[in-house]
Chains A and B, each alone.
Chain A
Amino acid sequence: MAAVRTSSEIGFNRVAIVAVLLVTIIFLAPIYWIASTAFKPRNLATTIPPTVVFQPEISPFVKLFTKRSQLRSPPTPEEYAAAPWWERVVFDGGEKIVRDGKGQVQWSGYPSRFLNSLIIAITSTVLAVGMGTFTAYGFSRFKVKGEADLLFFILSTRMLPPVVVAIPMFLMYRAVGLNDTHVGLIILYTAFNLSFSVWLMKGFMDEIPKEYEEAALVDGYTRMEAFFKIVLPEAATGIAATAVFCFITAWNEYAFALIMTNRRAQTAPPFIPSQVGSGLPDWTVIAAGTFLFLLPVAIFTFLLRNHLLRGMSFGAIRK
């Protein structure tokens, strides 16, 4: 049977659609801005009024990945003809790619920073979610003495803006030699995400009926086996949601990365703004770096979107 809708309902619907579109545009505008700037020629990046229609080019990305220096004089036609296409776009911008004595192209700092970001964010996410899941399971299923106090204590680590402890942390890290190391940032991000992970996972664990494990226990499995075979698959949604949040936090973290690292373990967020190009800031390169930096989170979230949607509404309704 078709539902009958009144004209006022239809009107409200239209207004709602317009409002949703507007909000979407407002949220997506900066993303569009970054993405479009990443494909602009350098001279169009800062025009006023902004250039909307342009011939997209790949040069910002070439520049992002290579070490460059300013050309004193334009390249000779032979040099230009001999250069591969990706080197020509750099020549066109008035720069040249730096090569070592053997003629090998020198990479910029971006790829290693990007890799650092991946290593640190993924490892700390795995650790925080893994430990959080076990801890939450313990709190959820066993009588723990002083459970409420312990949980509050765990949460209390989030009650301070993290930057407040940046200086003491820096001094401590320097004392034990964790400055500018992957392990250092991994520990930091894991510790930071752990309380969040425990609380979120506790909510999910509480939602999984105890009877599932009990059935497995009676069916001949140990508690550990029951945990891995029954509880973990059931908690997948919660784990995915928690992992996305932990990953985003670790991936986007700026302040500690800026203070604690400078080269070896530096992540992308503090590196990208330092990429000012030769001479004036090259906004197209910064935009290209930012654009690539957005991709992993976007992909990760996209892949887990079904889990995430369920995860967000999970636990909202008590049976």
Chain B
Amino acid sequence: MTQIELRGVQKFFGAVQVIKDLNLKISDNEFIVLLGQSGCGKTTTLRAIAGLETIDEGDILIDGKPVQHLKAADRDIAMVFQSFSLYPHMSVYENIAFPLRATRKSKAEIDSEVRSVAKTLQITDLLGKKPSALSGGDMQRVAIGRALVRRPKAMLMDEPIGALDAKLREEMRAEIKRLHIKQGSTTIYVTHDQIEAMSLADRIVIMHEGVLQQVGSPDEVYSRPANLFVAQFVGSPVMNVADAAVAENAASASVTVGDATTSFEFPRALLSKLNGHAGGQLALGIRPEGVLIRREAADGFMAVETQIVEPLGSFDIVDLKVGSNMLRARTKSGFISGPGEKVFARIDPTQAHFFDKASGKSLEVRL
């Protein structure tokens, strides 16, 4: 049973503030992913929890006890590094046994625990090898084994599969998830890869320039991004974002994207939900799958011209020219044959997001 809580954590590197007033509660057995671009403070946050980095203000609590003044060794936390950090001069067995040797366990106990972890991770036949003889995936398994063997209060993982190639990354991702379900330990995982975050996390914590942007389940951060940064950071292909102007029609609301001459039709309810922001500076966000395309004209569809088509196998991404803006839509593979086609597009109001352009915050419009 391990809960981790960050309360008002601040961290400076010289004059640069890398963590700004971070508050986060992580419950027992939860798999939390810290997601953000490099330099956003996610790794520093993780290292602060591990005790490898001091914090300048705030509290880090593990099971309710402040630990920010404890040494890393006394926090009972395990960490998996991106570089694996297997000790090169020790065999796999010794690497896994190393954390246990810091405790007062007997040789027999250590041996049985090393072997049981090795069995879980299916690396028993590697125990006699040196890390340099292992493949990337096996190194990662050993690194995870070394972290698991002590049964720590929490597991911290710093881009643990970032150094692997794409195929292996996918395999290891599934393995980490399987392991988490089986072992169930509080885990904090750092990555810049939003696919990793979406597929692994119970909750995703998105950080940007040291500030926490949003905490939520993968579905929440995907379908209800709290601000423009989250909206564009999560999801691939990236969400379309464009300046938008909302006007009132007789039976509906119309949304004009950028300098386009025609506008998209929205339910009239949009106006009331925008709650007075309708006249302000707005940004419309719409994921490619929220842009609907058809070949024939229909009510509410706007005539547009296709630009480039990116075939991605299971679907295509088509750029549509709307005024001087480009709207990317997701279509069936081969639906659009190439640039210059005249098609009709509509924005699915239920998938549209409206943001206040000045603050970047979502206006929480749900239609």
Count of A-B contacts with CB under 8 A?
60
Given contacts A219-B102, A220-B103, contact A214 B73 (CB under 8 A): no
Task: Report how far A103 CA is from B103 CA in the complex, Å.
Answer: 64
Contact between B73 and A212 (Cβ–Cβ < 8 Å)? no
- Output the residue of B72, B87, B102, B150 with the most chain A CB within 10 A: B72
Q: Which residues of B contact A225 (CB under 8 A)?
A: 102
Contact between B81 and A219 (Cβ–Cβ < 8 Å)? no
Contact between A214 and B89 (Cβ–Cβ < 8 Å)? no
Query: Chain A binding site: helix, strand, loop or mixed by DSSP?
Result: helix
Q: How large is the interface on B (under 10, 10 to 19, 20 to 34, 35 or more residues)?
A: 20 to 34
Q: Which residues of B contact A222 (CB under 8 A)?
A: 71, 73
Q: Which residues of B contact A212 (CB under 8 A)?
A: 85, 87
Q: Which residues of B contact A221 (CB under 8 A)?
A: 73, 102
B31-83, CB < 8 A from A = 50-52, 71-73, 76-79, 81, 83
Task: Report how far A236 CA is from B81 CA in the complex, Å.
Answer: 24
Q: Which residues of A contact B50 (CB under 8 A)?
A: 214, 218
Per-residue interface assignment for chain A, residues 178 to 211, with 1 indicating a CB less than 8 Å from any chain B CB and 0 otherwise: 0000000000000000000000000000000101
Task: Report how far A221 CA is from B71 CA in the complex, Å.
Answer: 10
Expressed in whole angstroms, the minimum distance between the Cβ of B164 and any Cβ of chain A is 16
Q: Which residues of A contact B87 (CB under 8 A)?
A: 212, 215-216, 230, 233-234
**B99 at interface (Cβ–Cβ under 8 A)?**
yes
Task: Report how far A219 CA is from B90 CA in the complex, Å.
Answer: 15
Contact between A218 and B83 (Cβ–Cβ < 8 Å)? no
Contact between B150 and A220 (Cβ–Cβ < 8 Å)? yes
Given contacts A214-B85, A234-B88, contact A219 B51 (CB under 8 A): no
Q: Which residues of A contact B98 (CB under 8 A)?
A: 216, 219, 229
Contact between B89 and A218 (Cβ–Cβ < 8 Å)? no
Contact between A220 and B81 (Cβ–Cβ < 8 Å)? no
Q: Which residues of A contact B77 (CB under 8 A)?
A: 218
Contact between A217 and B150 (Cβ–Cβ < 8 Å)? no
B115-170, CB < 8 A from A = 146, 150, 156
Contact between A219 and B88 (Cβ–Cβ < 8 Å)? no
Expressed in whole angstroms, the minimum distance between the Cβ of B178 and any Cβ of chain A is 24
Task: Report how far A175 CA is from B77 CA in the complex, Å.
Answer: 58
Q: How many residues of A contact B (CB 8 A)?
A: 18
Contact between B52 and A214 (Cβ–Cβ < 8 Å)? yes
Expressed in whole angstroms, the minimum distance between the Cβ of A217 and any Cβ of chain B is 4
Expressed in whole angstroms, the minimum distance between the Cβ of B192 and any Cβ of chain A is 18
Contact between A218 and B78 (Cβ–Cβ < 8 Å)? yes
Residue of A nearest to B102 (CB): A220
Q: Which residues of A contact B146 (CB under 8 A)?
A: 215, 219
Task: Report how far A230 CA is from B95 CA in the complex, Å.
Answer: 11
Residue of B nearest to A218 (CB): B79
Per-residue interface assignment for chain B, residues 16 to 41, with 1 indicating a CB less than 8 Å from any chain A CB and 0 otherwise: 00000000000000000000000000
Contact between A218 and B88 (Cβ–Cβ < 8 Å)? no
- Output the residue of B85, B87, B88, B156 with the most chain A CB within 10 A: B85
Q: Which residues of A contact B103 (CB under 8 A)?
A: 220
Expressed in whole angstroms, the minimum distance between the Cβ of A35 and any Cβ of chain B is 38
Q: Which residues of B contact A234 (CB under 8 A)?
A: 87-89
Residue of B nearest to A213 (CB): B85
Contact between A218 and B51 (Cβ–Cβ < 8 Å)? yes
Expressed in whole angstroms, the minimum distance between the Cβ of A199 and any Cβ of chain B is 24
B-side residues, CB < 8 A to A, are 50-52, 71-73, 76-79, 81, 83, 85, 87-89, 98-99, 102-103, 146, 150, 156
> Which 10 A-B residue pairs are closest in the complex by CB-CB distance?
A220-B102, A219-B99, A211-B85, A215-B85, A217-B72, A233-B89, A218-B79, A220-B73, A211-B81, A218-B72
Please, could you name 18 A-B residue pairs with CB atoms under 8 Å apart, sorted by A?
Answer: A209-B83, A214-B50, A214-B85, A215-B85, A215-B87, A215-B146, A216-B98, A217-B51, A217-B52, A217-B71, A217-B73, A218-B72, A218-B79, A219-B73, A219-B146, A233-B87, A234-B87, A234-B88
13 extra interface residue pairs, beta carbon distance < 8 Å, beyond A217-B71, A218-B156, A225-B102: A211-B85, A212-B87, A214-B72, A214-B81, A215-B79, A218-B50, A218-B77, A218-B79, A219-B78, A219-B98, A220-B102, A221-B73, A236-B89
